[in-house]
Amino acid sequence: MKPTLFVLAAGMGSRYGGLKQLDGLGPNGETIMDYSVFDAARAGFGKIVFVIRHTFEEDFRQKIAAKYEGVLPIEIVFQEITYLPEGFTCPADRQKPWGTNHAVLMGKDVIKEPFAVINADDFYGRESFAVLAEQLRRMEGTKGQYCMVGYRVGNTLSESGSVARGVCQKDGKNLLTNVVERTYIIRDTDGQIKYKDENDQMVAIDENTPVSMNMWGFTPDYFDYSEVNFIKFLQENIEKPKAEFYIPWAVNNLIVEGKATCEVLDTPSKWFGVTYAADRQFVVDKFAELVAKGEYPSPLYKK
């Protein structure tokens, strides 16, 4: 059975001010997500599941999903803040979504095979999809043995300012032991990569330190664990308007409880995305360069 690619796209409408402005960055107006779908198809993924919000379903089907017909089968599921387990009611003043792991839960009814999770607006690179697809094929029939693609922090920075990354610690078997979200990571004037710690001190880290870019590999049992953990999360956080149920938090919990392991897969891929407006031209230039090298056809999809 081929693995599934699960794309977290529920934030797209708000982040981009509507799908009409979904940024075309490739030589023929391709979006970052177009390249992810292309890379997933050639890595051997069998279908794509998108999680979106109902408000832009029609736009999404016409402007985005229609492009991928004939590339891979597509399914669409929905994330809304009112979608909560029995016994819980969404607070009336809640505006923020419940987070990335809540979005993952929306795929439970349509995903029955090993699956990858990615963000819609990050460029992950061809090698990362190949590495992850191979690992997911090996995970067929297993439980509680997950994985994540660990990017080398030096390959994930923006020249326009600081970035937030999940800094990973792993053991001698490449199993994840901890992920700590660092909200300020930058290459300093001395050339070293540093993050700001809890005491506002700048701490240097090695170029090759693995960081999470939200590229995960799971088997379907992850949904069951996540349902249990989401209930715990809501019991503690439902009245906190900004609290979110994140994937690293959920995975960390399972590791600490001894219920799962998560192998950190190394990738030489360079991540990029539009974190700042000033990043846009860099991304446009990168796609032009990759096309010129023959890594991608242009246009990416034939109409």
The domain segmentation of the chain, as residue ranges, is: 4-149+212-292
Q: Which residues of 266-275 are buried (b: 16+ CB within 10 A; e: fewer)?
A: ebebbbbbbb
Higher pLDDT, 101 or 23: 101
- CA 251 → CA 74, 143, 192, 240, 280, distances in Å? 27, 14, 30, 21, 32
Query: Is 4-149+212-292 a CATH 3.90.550.10 domain?
Result: yes
Name the one residue in this structure whose structure tokens are 């030096």: 154
User: Is-cis flag, bond preceding 299, omega within 30?
Assistant: yes
Q: How many CB atoms lie within 10 A of CB 129?
A: 28
Token digits for 210?
A: 């693995």
User: From the CB of residue 30, how many other CB atoms can be counted at a distance below 10 Å?
Assistant: 21
Q: If pLDDT is split at 50, 70 and 90, which confidence band does 158 have?
A: confident
Can you read off the two tokens belonging to residue 246? 């994140």
Answer whether residue 24 shows pLDDT above 60: yes
pLDDT, one tens digit per residue, over 232-265 is 999 999 999 989 999 988 999 999 999 999 999 9
Helix (H) or strand (E) holding 100: helix 100-105
User: pTM for the whole thing?
Assistant: 0.92
pLDDT attached to residue 96: 87
pLDDT at 131: 96
CA distance 179 to 210: 10
Residue 20 pLDDT level (bands cut at 50, 70, 90): low
State residue 274's pLDDT score. Answer: 81
pLDDT of 14 > 70? The answer is: no
What is the C-alpha separation between 143 and 177, in angstroms, rounded? Answer: 18
